[in-house]
Structure 1
């Protein structure tokens, strides 16, 4: 297996990643067009524009939304397909390692690790392959496109929106690092659970140890939930502060005649369009860090299995040589 997670991503399907990236670019470039159409609809309605013009703009808006939705549907299916190919590759690799052991099977720990990889660990790692490149490209592209549009409309209001997101750059990596440590411990505990199941030991001590592991998994999961949902709470709070800034500045600019009501509406829609990709980008970052931990553990297990296999081959060859 490649040493890095992204080495594995390109191993599984680099040509497909290029195609997915192209779809992502098309999607984020089309993301700002509905905002401009919204702004023109509101301004036409408030300025007493012709209804025929408003109707034409509404139809254009529906066409753009339909095009954006179909492109996103195609992108999501394509990414899911690539992810499932990667999951299948990991599972087959783990199965092949087990089959290569032949008549000299791995110890219970190795078998437990393989069982854990096939059942639980392969799916999140393989699933990340489909979104590894296209997701940050798409979401960052939407942020840049929509942010640039908002700066073009009203720079000071755009600055007020940007300021509320800055604290997240500080607390998100710190909280994610804490989650990563718990995920690594959780995988290790899960592998010991699988090892105990492979051994089929039914003594009281073994059952108590297995029960302790289950309790440990519960505690680790609850700890991850607390950190994750606290992070989500803080991110949502920052977003609401952004809306408050738009209402305050936008209301002032409308009252003083410095901007149109359509611009304020466009900013409210724009913040919604920024909030979603920003959240998706944060989720991708969290998935990246967690998946790097999981991939490293799968890779190390694969390397250990291969090393154990080589040692068994060498021992067999040495035994044959002594008999000869």
Structure 2
């Protein structure tokens, strides 16, 4: 059938195909597909077997529909949405902005990074949310950021203000706060490594499970913890170190020296006097493998 030149129709009974043409538009339809157009701007193709459709509006827009997703792209923005469950997103290339969301993942990138955010509940790609591996982060350009990973004892987090050189974070039993370069704070709540350290440059102080450590380098450092007791004052050329586990100590000063062990003691006063006392095990008549009596020795020197 035709109404020349406005309308033309053709029917193919063998293929069950119908064709319509009207000026610059038309369509072709059969059991497998359908094609429609309005030359030269619009075109639509439908695949009936795959339940898929593609539409084009040149040069403004492109759209595609499938059983899984619907997608629309234009010069100003894009949009997509899952058809078989929650999830979708969109964006604008001129605005450098993209947004995506699904039950396990989401991302936002706004105005070329003025604001950004992402969250991933399934980093391993198993299809099931895993809170112990979950990750999330957000930021406002280079001004501030925040990130979190995991939960419970495995939780890791960080926060920062890079322009102010300020950072904070935690990792399990550990946490820290830093305002570079003047202020530092580090803490570990693990009983095996427990400590709480503060630095306000150049002064530092560390509280430990047993005792403390402190100092003002290079003027002095001191400590009294589970292993050592010491004090060092470089301007005075003075130092004292005591090893509690070994039972030894050393004290050094230009005018005085003292050293002790469980079996000896040394005292010295510059070039004036020295005294050295020690204890030794003497031989035992019962045999060389038997411990004998304790023999004490002492040597003293007085100059000149």
- Judging by fraction of residues, say which structure has more strand: 2
TM-score range, shorter chain: under 0.3
- Judging by fraction of residues, say which structure has more helix: 1
Between 1 and 2, higher relative CO (CA 8 Å, sep ≥ 6) is seen in 1
TM-score between both structures, scaled by the size of structure 2: 0.15
TM-score between both structures, scaled by the size of structure 1: 0.14
